[in-house]
Structure 1
């Protein structure tokens, strides 16, 4: 499990350094399934890459992000994040989110985000 802790720590560090897309390319599987709360999941790296880029390009002011807690288990990691930014369409967003990642062969194959919208 120490290997998984190293991977999620590196991924989080990359996000904090403004390298979210580089982290996405490095740690996400080609067939990754990503889901926001109970919304329909998005399948495939290309679809999710487009969504991530669109999200990042819609942030007009970024005030901070911080991982509050990291937990790992067998092929699973969970990160509680605090975010503070202004989004072009959603306005000011200041909230906590939990991301649950399922790993296989060193890549995230499924990620689900839990937050109060």
Structure 2
């Protein structure tokens, strides 16, 4: 798949709420995922660890009120999307999270992702 096709597939899966399927299909086994400095999962290495982190996030959500995923912007072997989620979390209550997500693709797989958002 091309970078554009990978980006489009990721967006489609995220919009469908099929995040784990997106990771299974599109991520390299040795992917590196980065969250903002100070986040409990600042760096996560490996597809299985990323899936575990995603499962933990999903389990922390009581209800998603609204979520959007932008169309991707592609530049050579990178692409970016904006995710905006308004959710009620089991432990902290309702919170809106808007983030920019940047992905790097190599040999037809996502080899890294990085998320930019406010921790507050």
TM over 0.5: yes
List 4+ stretches of structure 1 deviating above 4 A. none
For residues 109 and 47 of structure 2, the distance between their equivalents in structure 1, rounded to whole angstroms, comes to 12
1:96 and 2:88 are equivalent in the alignment: no
What is the aligned length?
116
Structure 2 gap segments, 5+ residues each: none
Distance apart, 1:49 and its partner CA: 1.1
Q: TM-score, normalised by structure 1?
A: 0.90
- Alignment deviations for residues 31-80 of structure 1 (CA, whole Å, 9 cap, x no partner): 01001112431111111111111111111001122123521111101111
Number of the residue aligned with 1:48: 50
Q: TM-score, normalised by structure 2?
A: 0.88
Structure 1 gap segments, 5+ residues each: none
Distance apart, 1:3 and its partner CA: 2.5
> Is the strand fraction higher in 1 or 2?
1
Number of the residue aligned with 1:24: 23
